[in-house]
């Protein structure tokens, strides 16, 4: 791409927003031109707004330190050259967040959002690029229904807990081995709870057996992601049944999933499953999108892998790493899967979605 696309980050001061800056600092397609946050931060430089709350392992990129922070609701001050927004903003309630995202779209801006507010809005695609890039077709209906300019729309990414195993389930289905039942236990990192999760003593050195709302998201969202486009609408997948138990564990980054599943019909051998996962490739890999992991699924043979410390950054944090694939006494198979929750599960997943939108012509430079 000869000319980079100017982008903005909404909610730039939080943990996900900081990850956007880290990942976009040297991006070949996108260049940050606008940083926005709450009214408390508006009018300061980004470095002043973040203060001591920069939580990335790497230093704050120099090119962002002196960018003035805009109030996210100050639409009049958006720089003229910005063509795309990444949103890590959650307002007071779901409806306020929905209205906020659609306000940007109504002004002609594509919005790729991490928020859960619009995940169940019928004309908003919830995308994992390796699974359901075809769902982006519904953006045409969204623009028509809501009278948006042909450049404006909202697309969202799913919950971070889904990322660690659903690509693997999709790969099996694509290979002719559909799954009918899944039991999944997720061990979710502190960074998934944002700034409080990383800094509160109450969150350290313990396992919290409840993450409010997380199990519902983990059980429901795959039905939309795995659904089909039928006559211009997303028809939910009603076939797979999922039961989830989600916990918070004292690791910084990395959601681990303990997955047990039953196949609908024939059960592939363990070696066949490994072959399917190891050779799986999808549209982002075929298009050679900058953030697409090559390969998207890594299968580990060692019986003590994957481990967060060793494997969370595989594929620059974008790959799903799987190990402990075995037959089970009650289910057909079981395995352990790991993904980086603030990269693949948040900022990185949204960036890959935006790259797919560019590659398919929905976003133009």
User: Same domain, yes or no, for 204 and 323?
Assistant: yes
User: Same domain, yes or no, for 144 and 194?
Assistant: no
User: Same domain, yes or no, for 173 and 276?
Assistant: yes
CATH of the domain at 146: 3.40.50.720
**From CA 350, how far away is CA 129, in angstroms rounded?**
9
User: Same domain, yes or no, for 253 and 336?
Assistant: yes
Orientation angle between helical segments 166-174 and 270-279, nearest 10 degrees: 100
User: Same domain, yes or no, for 183 and 118?
Assistant: no
Q: What is the mean pLDDT of residues 207-233?
A: 96
User: Same domain, yes or no, for 14 and 33?
Assistant: yes
Q: What is the pLDDT of residues 69-107, one digit of tens each?
A: 999 999 999 999 999 999 999 887 899 999 999 999 999
Answer whether residue 1 shows pLDDT above 70: no
Q: What percentage of the chain exceeds 70 in pLDDT?
A: 100
- Kindly report each contact of residues 121-126 with a partner whose C-beta sits within 8 Å and lies 24 or more positions away, as own/partner: 121/154, 122/233, 122/234, 124/154, 124/155, 124/156, 125/155, 125/156, 125/234, 126/156, 126/157, 126/158, 126/221, 126/224, 126/225
Residue 64: inside a domain? yes
Answer whether residue 30 shows pLDDT above 70: yes
Residue 59: inside a domain? yes
Using CA atoms of 28, 34, 35, 38 in order, give the dihedral in degrees to the nearest 10.
Answer: -150
Helix, strand or coil, per DSSP, at residue 355? helix
Range of the structural domain that residue 18 is part of: 5-159+347-359
Mean pLDDT of the chain: 95
Angstrom distances, CA of residue 55 to CA of 118, 192, 206: 27, 13, 21
Q: To which residue do tokens 């990129």 refer? A: 61
Q: Which residues pair with 261 in a beta bridge?
A: 182, 333
User: Same domain, yes or no, for 115 and 46?
Assistant: yes
Q: How confident is residue 223, by pLDDT bands cut at 50, 70 and 90?
A: very high
Tally of structural domains, the chain: 2
User: Same domain, yes or no, for 227 and 82?
Assistant: no
CATH of the domain at 306: 3.30.360.10
Q: What is the mean pLDDT of residues 148-168?
A: 96
What letter does residue 291 receive in the DSSP assignment?
T
User: Same domain, yes or no, for 37 and 85?
Assistant: yes
Q: What is the pLDDT of residues 47-72, one digit of tens each?
A: 999 999 999 989 999 999 999 999 99
User: Same domain, yes or no, for 167 and 115?
Assistant: no
Model pTM score: 0.96
- Phi-psi sector, 352: left (phi>0), alpha (psi -120 to 50), beta: alpha
User: Same domain, yes or no, for 327 and 210?
Assistant: yes
Among all residues, which ones are annotated catalytic? 160, 255
Answer whether residue 125 shows pLDDT above 80: yes
Residue 365: inside a domain? no
User: Same domain, yes or no, for 215 and 109?
Assistant: no
């Amino acid at each position: 791409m000869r000319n980079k696309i100017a982008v903005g980050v909404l909610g730039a001061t939080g943990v996900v927003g900081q990850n956007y800056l880290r990942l976009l600092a040297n991006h070949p397609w996108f260049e940050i031109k606008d940083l926005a946050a709450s009214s408390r931060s508006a009018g300061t430089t980004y470095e002043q707004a973040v203060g001591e709350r920069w939580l990335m392992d790497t230093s704050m990129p120099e090119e962002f330190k002196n960018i003035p922070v805009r109030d996210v609701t100050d639409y009049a001050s958006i720089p003229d050259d910005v063509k795309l927004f990444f949103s890590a903003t959650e307002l007071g309630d779901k409806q306020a967040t929905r209205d906020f995202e659609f306000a940007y779209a109504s002004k002609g801006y594509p919005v790729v959002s991490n928020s859960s507010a619009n995940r169940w809005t019928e004309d908003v695609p919830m995308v994992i690029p390796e699974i359901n890039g075809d769902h982006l077709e519904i953006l045409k209906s969204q623009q028509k229904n809501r009278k948006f300019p042909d450049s404006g729309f909202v697309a969202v990414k799913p919950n971070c807990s889904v990322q660690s195993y659903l690509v693997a389930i999709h790969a099996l289905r694509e290979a002719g081995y559909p799954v009918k039942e899944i039991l999944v236990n997720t061990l979710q990192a502190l960074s998934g709870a944002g700034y409080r999760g990383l800094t509160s003593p109450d969150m350290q050195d313990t396992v919290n057996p409840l993450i409010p709302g997380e199990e519902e998201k983990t059980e429901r969202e795959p039905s939309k992601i795995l659904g089909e486009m039928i006559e211009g609408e997303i028809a939910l997948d009603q076939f797979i049944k999922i039961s989830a138990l989600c916990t918070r564990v004292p690791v910084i980054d990395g959601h681990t999933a303990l997955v047990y599943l039953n196949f609908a019909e024939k059960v592939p051998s363990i070696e066949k499953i490994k072959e399917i996962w190891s050779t799986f490739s999808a549209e982002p890999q075929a298009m050679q999108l900058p953030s697409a992991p090559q390969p998207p699924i890594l299968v580990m043979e060692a019986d003590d892998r994957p481990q967060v410390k060793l494997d969370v950054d595989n594929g620059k944090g974008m790959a799903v790493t799987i190990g402990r694939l075995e037959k089970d006494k009650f289910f057909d198979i079981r395995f352990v899967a790991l993904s980086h929750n603030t990269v693949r599960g948040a900022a990185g997943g949204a960036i890959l979605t935006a790259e797919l939108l560019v590659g398919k012509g929905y976003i133009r430079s």
